[in-house]
Amino acid sequence: MSIQRIATGSDRASVWRDGRFRRLGGSVGISLLGSEITVLALPLAAVTVLDASADQVALLAAVGTAPFLLLGLPAGAWVDLWPRRAVMVRCDVVRGLLLATVPLAHALGVLTLTHLYVVTFAVGALSVFFDVAVLSVLPALVQRDRLSAANGALEAARAGAQTSGPAAGGILVQILSAPVAVLVDAVSFLASALLLRGLPPLPAPPRPDRQTSMRRQVAEGLAYCLRSPMIRPLALGGAWLNFWTHALLAVFVPYAVRDLGLSAAVVGLVLALSNVGYLLGSLVVPWLNAQLGVGPAIVAGVALHGGLVAVALAPGGTPLPWLIAGFGLQAMGAAIWNVDAVSLRQAATPEALLARMNATNRFLLWGAMPLGAAAGGLLTTVAGLPAAVLVAAVAVPCCAVPLLGSGLRRVRAMPGPADEETGSREVAAASS
């Protein structure tokens, strides 16, 4: 297997010179900016407008990520059958229209928790297909030896959205109300769709054998991921990471508002400032990869999630420094994970399996989110908000232990793409 060189900062800057990548990156950045506002605005709407309890807010978080558990596996096989640009554009348009119903219902005085649950689930379902398509499109837009740089550039755009989005969301909620703030996200999806429409036709992925059933295609993608010595530890470790992170995040808003006494604007400011860590993490990846190697850098990123313990230990009188530092370290670790883990999976997977590999990983990683959010709500019911936050914060970085026990720690650089014959043999062995 060939070894690719480690991406540098100049490589990352160069990918933005590609007009096709600029459209994709601009689309991701704009829609993420709106989504970061909604991540704060929807639970605040539930708490402040509908007086939802902590477990109801946790359920809202679980509903939004449940489609990754329900649809994640077949999504890759379906995306393989459709034009990927059309999938992304249509998902953006429909998500924008769905979110626009929230401020409309609020204005008419008919907004309910059920409405929020339905919209959140539907937007999450469309996000399953959009995300699988985006991850599968990127290797068609940039050369494989530039995947790390391209993913790093996308994560830098994500960092910008995560830094400005919560602050803007907090201010918009404070001024306009939480439901009206969701309208900004609706507009962002429509803007994203316009950018994506300008992409040139993308090469179609290799078509699966017509005689191969959907179940067989899904099984091949799952088997490939679970047999791969590089992808398996990333999938299982990422599932643990997402489970406990979302257990904490699902109850953080009611914890911050009710136990720490923070306003909507201050909660948004905390999340915005802490996401500076995400920007720093995305920028430091090339240096970390050069100094430690790709695998050890991923493990270091997981260890940084231990900063969440500071969130759980934040004192009631002066919680802001603890919250910002804790979330900042976690965000830095998340950026390192997102750049290197995604790039490693893409670089090591044959083209014919990319969509199914991405869908399987979305199923395993994102499918853990609703389960974690539900666990956060259950912990709150049993032990209270502060205890739920502490248990989740301690559990998150523990996934570094199994990663250290895998072959991942010996991966120093991005691998070359597995050839089709080798990939086919691995799939056939796993499916038999």
| Residue at token pair 């912990």 | 379
Is the backbone of residue 174 left (phi > 0), alpha (psi -120 to 50) or beta?
alpha
Interatomic CA distance for residues 354 and 349, integer angstroms: 6
The pLDDT score that the predictor gives to residue 65 is: 81
Fold observed for domain 9-202+213-431 = Growth Hormone; Chain: A; (1.20.1250)
Interatomic CA distance for residues 150 and 14, integer angstroms: 9
Predicted confidence (pLDDT) per residue in 164-197, tens digit: 777 777 788 888 888 888 998 899 999 999 999 8
Break the chain into its structural domains and give their ranges. Answer: 9-202+213-431
The pLDDT score that the predictor gives to residue 109 is: 92
The pLDDT score that the predictor gives to residue 210 is: 55
The pLDDT score that the predictor gives to residue 13 is: 58
Give me the tens of pLDDT residue by residue for the chain, a chain 432 residues long: 334 444 444 555 577 778 888 888 888 888 888 887 888 888 888 888 899 988 898 889 889 888 888 887 788 778 777 888 888 899 999 999 999 999 999 999 999 999 999 999 999 899 888 888 887 777 777 776 677 778 778 877 777 776 677 777 778 888 888 888 899 889 999 999 999 988 877 666 655 555 556 677 778 888 888 888 888 899 889 999 999 999 999 899 889 988 999 988 888 888 888 888 988 898 898 899 989 999 999 999 999 999 999 999 999 889 999 999 999 999 999 999 988 998 888 888 887 787 778 778 878 887 898 899 999 999 999 999 999 999 999 999 998 887 888 888 888 887 765 444 444 444 444 444
Q: How many CB atoms lie within 10 A of CB 182?
A: 27
DSSP state of 307: G
Output the CA angle 24-25-27, nearest 5 degrees.
Answer: 65
Say how far residue 135 (Cα) sits from the centre of its chain: 11
The pLDDT score that the predictor gives to residue 429 is: 45
Q: How many CB atoms lie within 10 A of CB 390?
A: 19
The pLDDT score that the predictor gives to residue 48 is: 84
The pLDDT score that the predictor gives to residue 3 is: 41
The pLDDT score that the predictor gives to residue 279 is: 83
Contacts for 396 with CB less than 8 Å, ≥ 6 apart: 241, 244, 245, 248, 305, 306, 308, 330
The pLDDT score that the predictor gives to residue 376 is: 93
The pLDDT score that the predictor gives to residue 4 is: 44
Is the backbone of residue 293 left (phi > 0), alpha (psi -120 to 50) or beta?
left
DSSP state of 318: S
| Residue at token pair 């709500």 | 377
Q: How many CB atoms lie within 10 A of CB 91?
A: 25
The pLDDT score that the predictor gives to residue 432 is: 46
Predicted confidence (pLDDT) per residue in 188-230, tens digit: 999 999 999 888 776 666 555 555 566 777 788 888 888 888 8
Interatomic CA distance for residues 194 and 232, integer angstroms: 36
